[in-house]
Structure 1
């Protein structure tokens, strides 16, 4: 995801459009970067709706600062700088009202504002899509939230976007030494939060689901639709990490305790709950979209999504999100 040169045609066109206040042409030039900027904002904020807002804020700031662009860096670099600082300004306000108090590591453990990211909004460029799988998964997004905002920005710009220290320092108005120090501290925290993950986020990994993942999702859906509690239990690891947002906290539970908990919370009432499910992906992760029909309502209505991390043929992490209030997931509200 390094900043590819040359893009001089874009820079020259942007400068010409800025001088003539050609809003339509400026919008065309900036709009092509929307998806990657939105993913960048999501990594910073862990919230899809906030990322959308900050991407719009980036374009607004770019318009207001259009005359300051001289083409010394690429247009893409300039927009990333604006987006990063917009996110830092937003985080300063959000962290004042939403403190992060970690108890357990894992998806959603303390990031109450965490939202899933719809795959259809990821960059369409193949190279960007490959990078996205490793740096868009929920565990990575949550781990990044453990970093202080400016340290978070340094880590993402250096180790994810691939900027040199000098460019990150200029964007964040820091010294190169400060950027280097912040990156070292960030990497230590990331290793603590992701002990079984590497920090080489730019390796060439496929973003497609494996056959193993597809088979487990299919089995999970089949068991759900049959209210087959034993079948569900067989798919779960005994050290399952389970989170249901926005409820805070990640539970590390046995398969039996997980299923018993779902039953005690009113799910899987035999003769009452009637499920239909579809397979999808969010955050480049296998996901089941769950639709529920009850005796007093004849329609299968979107209930929630279950985002799964599958290890050796079993579900190691299950993160649930209410889905009925998230039209941007692009799931049909009823079946």
Structure 2
């Protein structure tokens, strides 16, 4: 295997594009997920990945094989993401107005950033063989959840990068320092602050968190049967426009958010108000299509078009669950639905 890699590197350095593709393709999906964690947006992650591959192609002559090719690619990808965050121009400064005319008063300003996008589970299927290093602090399933991705976006960029490299991927502090061009002391200081922010957010949002000691708490693995039952009940409630049945699925302190609007509705009463005012307005009929995002159940919501025999794409709802109840619903607009293979319309 090492001989193959050495041969591919030599051929790629000589200008062989096919050899370069063979060299990097096994890292493609994990690098995209890495960029997504840091940037919070699939569109931005795709851009960062392309820039990473271009940079790797141009600078392959500088790869001295002191580290593994994978580590070298992660270093390039991390620094591409940090450059994009510094540029900042791609990030919306303010959320656009919502299409709904009269939303109830929100509980407050949410911490879900306007640029947050869901990540299709179908793209995560390629990561089954990727195991984090022994230094990792967060389990793979937790480290792709919407709550975790949202928590990362609360961190300054370099704290974010340090936490992902160290606590998600399991690189040693010395390796992280080298990848970020800083000292181990700086990395440890950044990690201490980053862990406190992320763990507090995960506890507040119903995520597991891993505690402040570095010891892992077991992450709840999805109970597929329970999730299927819950999604079936949610689908039934939405398609029958049964508000009481929907409210019965929610935990008392449920959180509703709808990026790019930085609003949050928290608690059953707030949820009841917004569902009554928006989703279950008289005359509305829905069709629901199950999917998955960020390792969580999700549904594509389609609204019957008046005076036409079609359902039009309306929203993608990503669901956080605990047992047989819903702890959070994040509602994304129709822009993200094609990423999930969901059509624009249904007959």
The TM-score by the shorter chain falls in which range?
A: 0.7 to 0.9
Residue 281 of structure 2: aligned partner: 269
2:128 alignment counterpart:
126
Residue 232 of structure 1 is aligned with which of 241, 246, 267?
Answer: 246
Please give the alpha-carbon distance, in whole angstroms, between the structure 2 residues aligned to 1:317 and 1:110: 12
Distance 1:226 1:310, change over 3 A: same
Query: Gaps (5+ residues) in structure 2?
Result: 96-105, 133-138
Deviation string, structure 1 residues 64-113 (Cα, Å, up to 9, x no partner): 11111122211111110000000000011127965699xx9999624110
Alignment of structure 1 residues 1-335 onto 2, 5 Å: 8-9=2-3, 11-94=5-88, 98=92, 109-128=111-130, 131-195=139-203, 197-199=208-210, 208-254=222-268, 256-265=269-278, 267-270=279-282, 272-324=283-335, 326-335=337-346
Q: Counterparts of 2:327 and 2:208 in 1: how far apart (Å)?
A: 15
- The alpha carbon displacement at 1:19 in A equals 2.9
Q: What secondary structure, in the 3-state scheme, does the structure 2 residue paired with 1:304 have?
A: strand
Per-residue CA deviations over 1:162-190 (Å, capped at 9, x if unaligned) read 10111111111011111122112211112
Provide Cα deviations, 1:203-249, integer angstroms capped at 9, x if missing partner. 88686553222211110000111111111111122211000121112
CA-CA distance at 1:201 after TM superposition: 9.6
TM-score (norm 2): 0.85
1:334 to partner: Cα distance? 2.4
Deviation at 1:51, TM superposition (A): 0.4
Q: Name the SS for the 1:248 alignment partner.
A: strand
Question: How many pairs align?
Answer: 324
1:250 aligns to what SS in structure 2?
strand
The answer to whether the 8 Å contact 2:120/2:340 transfers is: yes
Higher mean C-alpha displacement, 321-330 vs 62-71: 321-330
CA contact (8 A) 2:173 2:187 kept: yes
- How has the CA–CA distance of structure 1 residues 326 and 10 changed in structure 2, closer, same or farther, with 3 Å as cutoff? farther
TM-score of the pair, normalised by structure 1:
0.88
- Structure 1 stretches lacking a partner, 5+ long: 1-6
Mark the CA change 1:245 to 1:98 in structure 2 (over 3 Å): closer, same or farther.
closer
CA RMSD of aligned residues (A): 2.8
Counterpart CA distance in 2 for 1:320 and 1:253 is: 16
- Stretch deviating more after TM superposition (83-92 or 311-320): 311-320
